[in-house]
Amino acid sequence: MRSKDKILGVLYGQAIGDAIGMPSELWPVENIRDQFGGKITTFLDGPDNSDIAKNFKKGQYTDDTNQALAILDGLIENNWQPNSEILVKHIMAWAESVGAWENNILGPSSKAALSAIKAGQDPRPITDQALTNGAGMRISPIGALFEPNQLPKLVQMVFDITKITHSSDVSISGASMIAGAVTASMADQNWDDIIDFALRANDAGFKLGAPTWAAKTHDRLQLGIEIAHKYKDDDGKFSQHIYDLIGTGTMISESIPAAVSIAYYCRDVQKCALMCANLGGDTDTIGAMATAICGAKNGQSSIPVEWVNLIDQQNPEHDFNEYADKILQFHINQMG
């Protein structure tokens, strides 16, 4: 039986990694060191000299977590059956409410696909070639719905959700990798088994997507785990090698294997969130994905109470306890 503590660990892990990584989003590591006096050590307001982060205050999460919760709203509305029109409706409602079209809040693939839908056009020419990480940034709660023995159901739901904006092979595989890592973490598998299950989910998802030329997330994750083993006692060298070799940009084939590798290395919500914030690149998205995995493994009870309280205070529009209760009920109903 899954616990509410672990479900809340996923939700708060996602939100914490997102919010701590928000101020440094899409900056090179050198800029982060200059801007923040060496490194980020806590939640901060988005700086005025960031076109994206300036829209957010300390502890607020970004599009990563807002879209994850919009997807949950769409699933809950339709009795946990993915329906593209309902999912798009909820993401569109959030986007309109925050002025996402004007304020550079939406990612490029999601923005292009949603713009096509708004214009009454078929988004598939866009979604089939989507290579950016919107597919993975919002998927972690889906991993909380399933057990490892339900891999086909997990990957099918990931596909049915992800295809609304991302339907390429690398998108479906990357999103499945994140969801799979959460599922295995929720089941309290050991960290090596978590990686093995994430790779299995990745490979199953890859078969469902439209073919692209993108680098394979499977191989990139294997390289990231090798780096984690090689530099297991040196945080600086590990993070630098992830930055240099795996990559920390917005591409799925960089940020998703980077996130899973960092979760594997850190194994702790606090350490993971802060490492991602100081990493350079797409820090909020990598933080959201990686820290959700650590939260799934260790539960909300492992997270500082003041961090949980800040997330609640700064994002009053969402009640994580209510989402957790509904996810837990879905799981109970599934298992009979």
Which residues sit in the known binding site for Mg(2+)?
A: 62-64, 282, 284-285
Q: Which residues are annotated as a binding site?
A: 62-64, 282, 284-285
Q: Which two tokens stand for residue 42?
A: 């806590």
CA 300 to chain centre: 17
Distances (CA, A) of 143 to 75, 136, 168, 208: 14, 11, 20, 18
- Cβ pair 312, 160 in contact under 8 A: no
Pick the closest to residue 160 from 75, 275, 47 (CA basis).
Answer: 75
Q: Which residues have a Cβ under 8 Å from the Cβ of 192 and sit 6 or more positions away?
A: none
Q: How many CA atoms lie within 13 A of 103 on its CB side?
A: 14
Backbone angles phi, psi at 132, to 5 degrees: -95, 170
Torsion over CA: 200, 203, 205, 207 (sign): negative
Whose tokens are 């569109």? That residue is 92
Q: How many CA atoms lie within 13 A of 124 on its CB side?
A: 4
Say if residue 240 is exposed, middle or buried (CB neighbours under 10 Å; 0-12, 13-18, 19+). middle
Which helix (DSSP H) or strand (DSSP E) does residue 238 occupy? Answer: helix 235-241
- DSSP letter for 46, please: P
**Secondary-structure breakdown of the chain: helix, strand, coil percentages, each rounded to the nearest 5:** 70, 0, 30
- DSSP letter for 168, please: B
